Amino acid sequence: MKLTNHGYTFGGVPVTELSKNFGTPLYVYNADVIRKNYHTLKNAFSGVDVHLKYACKALTNINVLKILQQEGAGLDTVSIQEAKMGLRAGFQPNDILYTPNCVSFEEIQEAVSLGLIINIDELSTLERFGNEYGGSVPCCIRLNPHIMAGGNSHISVGHIDSKFGISIYQVPHIKRIVDNLGIHVNGLHMHTGSDILDADVFLRGASLLYEAAKSFEKLEFMDFGSGFKVKYKEGDITTDVNDIGQQIVDSFKKFCLEYGKELQLWFEPGKYIVSNAGHLLVDVNVVKQTTSTVFAGVNSGQNHLLRPMMYDAYHHITNVSNHTGVERIYSIVGYICESDTLGYDRKLNEVRVGDILAISNAGAYGFSMSSNYNSRFRPAEVLIQNQKAVLIRKRETLDDLLQNQIEVDLV
């Protein structure tokens, strides 16, 4: 989002024009930023056969999936529904990694029938998979490296108390199951979490995968997950992907030489690709002053953007309607019957009823985590490409809330 003499623009389109034409609350995504982020990350790992599998749980709008499919990305999915969305968007089954946890075996069987790349993170499931398919269907193994990433237990998934993955210390057990049932293991996978700043976390995990690889002779790829930290506010330290890329590439080349063949290097970024490509535009309903705080109450809340409440996440907020106003301190709160504060004690240009606020870094885990709590409608979504804004999801209506309910005669 850029500030010009005439106000804020996003992707070359005036932000106030977006709110006027499509209403608020409104999710807006910039296709050019999505493409740029994808290629920036891919280029950081040049020198090896790198494959980026977009973690579509971050943002599943089918138009965003189509953009990344056109750019050459694969897809990382965690449910059969996400995988089917990917197929609908044009991804080939062998471009889709399916990494579920705690699902029924019937869902895994469906993923096999669709031809997806299967990633297994639990010993009993691996055993059942081997009994069902033997070596006829290859699978990847998700390992838990017992590494705390990002310094936040909410977004770290590779620590010892995590539900994700099979412990790195259980590789001998995995090996016994694989050998006894003739399972074809074609990949090893890890994902430690989000907001990783330096290469050390990846390299520590990589060294564990490299050691585990000695037990599997038919590997085709190694998946290092993701977790690259993005910028949320001025002064934020972010992941230097070029520095990390060079160190991992050097490490991976050395491993492949020792392993005896060149493997593919996989990552599964989500937030890095779409976070800064999206904004949530909201309208100010009330400005309420109490004995201690001035609240700017907006027509949105945790039902549309859960991250501030769930993860204590920071999202920069800008008053796009009054960029010349005197700066004052506000707490931006939602219209949900909960304490849904989107931003505490923020310095904004004077906020008035009717002003439009833009919440930044809303491209990742914004709409995809939204809900109909309080029977509120989920927002519309707009995509900007070639400096033109197009509607890619209609705003919900009361009929949408009622469409799956069945009214019965009550006695």
Q: How far is CA 160 from CA 144, 167, 171, in A?
A: 8, 8, 15
Cα 110 from Cα 359, distance rounded (Å)? 39
Q: What is the pLDDT of residue 231?
A: 80
CA 167 to chain centroid, in Å, comes to 24
Q: What is the pLDDT of residue 153?
A: 47
Q: What is the pLDDT of residue 243?
A: 86
Q: What is the pLDDT of residue 148?
A: 56
Residues carrying an active site annotation = 337
Q: What is the pLDDT of residue 155?
A: 39
Per-residue confidence of the chain (411 residues) as pLDDT tens digits?
899 888 999 999 999 999 999 999 999 999 999 999 999 999 999 999 999 999 999 999 999 999 999 999 999 999 999 999 999 999 999 999 999 998 999 999 999 999 999 999 999 999 999 999 999 999 999 999 887 555 444 434 445 667 888 999 999 999 999 999 999 999 999 987 655 556 677 788 888 899 999 999 999 999 998 888 788 878 777 778 888 889 899 999 999 999 999 999 999 999 999 999 999 999 999 999 999 999 999 999 999 999 999 999 999 999 999 999 999 999 999 999 998 999 999 999 999 999 999 999 999 999 999 999 999 999 999 999 999 999 999 999 999 999 999 999 998
At 100, which helix (H) or strand (E)?
none
Dihedral, CA of residue 41, residue 44, residue 49 and residue 50, to nearest 10: -20
Q: Which of 121, 119, 125 is nearest to 222 (CA)?
A: 119
Cα 193 from Cα 311, distance rounded (Å)? 13
Cα 356 from Cα 274, distance rounded (Å)? 22
The two tokens of residue 113 are: 């029938």
Residue recorded with tokens 């109450």:
297
The two tokens of residue 239 are: 């992941």
SS3 394: coil
First-to-last CA distance in the chain? 57
Largest CA distance in the chain: 75
Residue type, 254: K
Cα 293 from Cα 344, distance rounded (Å)? 10
In three-state form (DSSP H/G/I as H, E/B as E, the rest C), the secondary structure along 344-381 is EEEEEECCCCCCEEEECCCCCCCHHHCCCHHHCCCCEE
Does 269 sit behind a cis peptide bond, omega within 30 degrees of 0 on the bond before it?
A: no
Q: What is the pLDDT of residue 157?
A: 45
Residue type, 350: E
Q: What is the pLDDT of residue 145?
A: 86
Contact status, residue 222 vs residue 252, Cβ threshold 8 Å: yes
At 206, which helix (H) or strand (E)?
helix 199-213
Q: What is the pLDDT of residue 194?
A: 54
Cα 333 from Cα 82, distance rounded (Å)? 31
At 174, which helix (H) or strand (E)?
helix 171-181
Cα atoms in the 13 Å half-sphere on the side-chain side of 84:
7
Phi, psi of 346, rounded to the nearest 5 degrees? -100, 140
Cα atoms in the 13 Å half-sphere on the side-chain side of 309:
18
Q: Which of 124, 91, 90, 94 is nearest to 112 (CA)?
A: 94
**Please, which residues have CB within 8 angstroms of residue 370's CB and are 6 or more apart in sequence?**
303, 304, 305, 306, 378, 379
Q: What is the pLDDT of residue 124?
A: 95
- Domains along the chain with CATH numbers: 2-29+276-402 (2.40.37.10), 99-269 (3.20.20.10)
